[in-house]
Structure 1
Amino acid sequence: MDRNSATTLLDDLHTAQNAYYGGGDGTQLRALLTDDITWTVPGDNAIAGTYRGVEEVFAYFDRRRQLAAGTFRMHRRDVLTGDGDTIAALTDGTASVDGADWAWSTVGLYGLRDGLIARCWLLPLDPELFDRVWR
């Protein structure tokens, strides 16, 4: 996938996620995911795990929305592309969780199929901080 197409897709994804995390209905977000999506979140925290299928992935999204009381937002910084169906995004996150304001960075590795997100592996740049945020 070329960089412009990847950037557009990730901007659409992050816009839809931010809308959902802010209380939206998820229609835009659902339209960007395959039915058999897999989403993997590392760590020792309340959101860690591997989620398979749209229902499990949305349960994960719901958990994040609940923990951050609708304040979680994603801010794309850069995109890495190449030949094939995998793209990477350096993304900052911000949220208020249990009265504390947090900021962190992750790399999201996204596997694509037919122009949709089929898998995501989330890689926090500071795993200990990420675990503290989502304890």
Structure 2
Amino acid sequence: MESITTLTVARRYADAVSAKDFAAVAGMFAEDIVWHQPGDNAVSGTYRGMAAVNGMLGAQMAATQGTFELRLTGDPMVNGALAAMPVRFSARRDGAEMAMDGVDLLRVEGDKIMEVWLFSADQHAEDAFWGAG
């Protein structure tokens, strides 16, 4: 049963992010969510709590003037409470463009996302896009 719930939450999350429905995304987060943003750039780091995560996501959307996009490139893969999702993400910012593959890994409990790890195919390019931390 747990993997069905995990898969359902992962798909709902991917659909909401793709639709840029960030109110729905925020509603899927546990109050004490932990988000691991990779790299060495202005948005890198570990964010703890719904307010911190939503603030970081809002800052990304503001910096990219809403051009940040993410879509699934394959089906989510589930192992118990974990869901790995192959994604393609892109954005434009200050004349720069970024588009690459990645993996979003979610840890789900019940119907809430407890923890998120992001992986980028070209972390150096992503770091350059977001700028120094």
Normalising by structure 2, report the TM-score. Answer: 0.86
Once the two structures are superposed, residues 10-45 of structure 1 have per-residue CA deviations (whole angstroms, 9 ceiling, x without a partner) of 33213323454xxx6x43122211111000012111
Note if 1:85 corresponds to 2:86. no
Report the secondary structure of 2:73's partner residue.
strand
Identity of aligned residues (%): 27
Tell me, which stretches of 5 or more residues in structure 1 are unaligned? none
Once the two structures are superposed, residues 73-97 of structure 1 have per-residue CA deviations (whole angstroms, 9 ceiling, x without a partner) of 1011122212x10110111101111
Normalising by structure 1, report the TM-score. Answer: 0.84
| Amino acid in the other structure paired with 1:121 | W
Structure-2 residue corresponding to 1:11 = 11
Structure-2 residue corresponding to 1:105 = 101
| Amino acid in the other structure paired with 2:58 | D
In 2: Cα distance, 1:113 partner to 1:51 partner: 18
Structure-1 residue corresponding to 2:47 = 51
In 2: Cα distance, 1:50 partner to 1:5 partner: 22
| Amino acid in the other structure paired with 2:78 | T
| Amino acid in the other structure paired with 2:77 | L
Number of residue equivalences: 128
Q: Does structure 2 conserve the Cα–Cα contact (< 8 Å) formed by 1:41 and 1:121? A: yes
In 2: Cα distance, 1:27 partner to 1:133 partner: 26
When the two chains are superposed, the root-mean-square deviation of aligned CA atoms in Å is 1.9
The alpha-carbon deviation at position 64 of structure 1 amounts to 0.7
Q: Which of the pair has the greater relative contact order for Cα pairs under 8 Å at 6+ separation?
A: 2
